[in-house]
Structure 1
């Protein structure tokens, strides 16, 4: 019968935790190949130096250093000469942007004045009942400014967007999850409508039934107008019930998820009076003119008016 081999008394030696990673351990501990160290040792023993000793080699080295210095000096000089040109072009572009913004503001003010003039002429041309109905239709359609009590939601990106976690359901590979997306604003706006909002605006852009919230890269567009965070949403309605009704919708739960999981910053408040501008891009697509009656006793309803539809 074979006997079991006897073990030496005492505790058995413990193996190194990285014993199975000997190759990686060697690479990490000896970063320089042994051949380089041996070559350096041989040069030291033979008294050889890495610097050139002959006059010709020294001249070549000096020429190389001079050429390098000339190239670096010329590059620095060109960069210095180009810097004022680039700064001047940047200033010119900024001036052009400022001029275009001023012209756009002036044109928008002109449009608002013309819209107010048209509304006043409509009120004068229509009867009191028709004028009230026209004002109500314009208010609901977003063609006229609106004011009244409501709520204000301010939605902003996370404080440290660059460190936002990736791989979540909102990470599509094009932007950080800590940024407010166009679909986030879409859900919040639809939730406000569902909660009973009478009028909604995002960063002073009035929303209508034809409004679109889209994205171009990381930028959010409302009716093709780029917006920058923070996004301020104004909604007219009963302040006491509008926020509670919004929280009960799926959009309200979605907004809470954005706060908890993605650190999206949200501020909510009620206002006694909010002012929402008119939608700037409304156009009349169809109209029915009322013909003047030839007979004083004839009413306009006796003849079917012709409908005109814009292309």
Structure 2
């Protein structure tokens, strides 16, 4: 005997229809998501997208590109200097130009000087002095303030020129550190950090010894084993600056 459809049968039929519609909608949405993902990846692995590279990888990549650009710039500057020399009207003009280039750190500089080397503490370093607290990670690495203190002391000591790592400093040079990585004029360096200056060695040494920031750094050298070496040089040769001298405004942005 058949049961005529009533209100309950009608509700069950409506629920089944709604369920089928929701199922179709879910599958359609899933298909759309797969399509969008495929278009975004375009056959590549999303996990290796360049936007997911670490900051360190990006910095190293930019440093390599900057190094290549600086080499090209140095070659162009050498050609420009040759053309300038050819156009000089008199020996006095040439002498004046050479003096300006030397003062702007564009020419190599030779003479007696001082070399200071800074380095991180050994791995797993501990306190070397009784009663001194055990170090944290910031106590064991070279910071921007340490490098800048040495550079500033050398200038105060009458340095004729200063070099950090393999780069000559000019009036617009800025020492920047990210962690224990040095960023200098578009290139990246790791410790040990070598700072050289040409000038009177006694005056340079006295300025370094008198600097309060360096004195504080030397306390960490004794306590935790940070690297510190000072060497007087009878003859140093600093390279001429080979980077760009163009000033750029950031529009007030950092």
Q: CA deviation at 1:198?
A: 0.9
The equivalent position to 2:185 in structure 1, one of 179, 203, 223, is 223
Q: CA deviation at 1:270?
A: 1.6
In the aligned structure 2, how far is the partner of 1:284 from the partner of 1:104? 15
Report the secondary structure of 2:112's partner residue: strand
Q: Which has the higher contact order (CA 8 A, sep 6+)?
A: 2
The equivalent position to 2:164 in structure 1, one of 194, 202, 220, is 202
Partner of 1:180: 142
Partner of 2:226: 264
Partner of 2:123: 160
Identify unmatched segments of 5+ residues in structure 1.
1-96, 286-310
Contact kept, 8 Å, 2:114 with 2:230, in 1: the verdict is yes
Identify unmatched segments of 5+ residues in structure 2.
1-59
In the aligned structure 1, how far is the partner of 2:148 from the partner of 2:67? 27
Contact kept, 8 Å, 1:207 with 1:279, in 2: the verdict is yes
RMSD: 3.3
In the aligned structure 2, how far is the partner of 1:181 from the partner of 1:216? 9
In the aligned structure 1, how far is the partner of 2:101 from the partner of 2:124? 41
Deviations 1:164-208 (A, max 9, x none): 69xx9xx9x8x4311001111011110110111111111112111
Partner of 2:113: 150
In the aligned structure 1, how far is the partner of 2:230 from the partner of 2:66? 32
Partner of 2:201: 239
Q: CA deviation at 1:156?
A: 0.8
Partner of 1:124: 86
Report the secondary structure of 1:177's partner residue: helix
In the aligned structure 2, how far is the partner of 1:224 from the partner of 1:117? 23
In the aligned structure 2, how far is the partner of 1:125 from the partner of 1:213? 37
Q: 1:218 to 1:164 in 2, by over 3 A?
A: farther
- The answer as to 2:104 corresponding to 1:134 is no
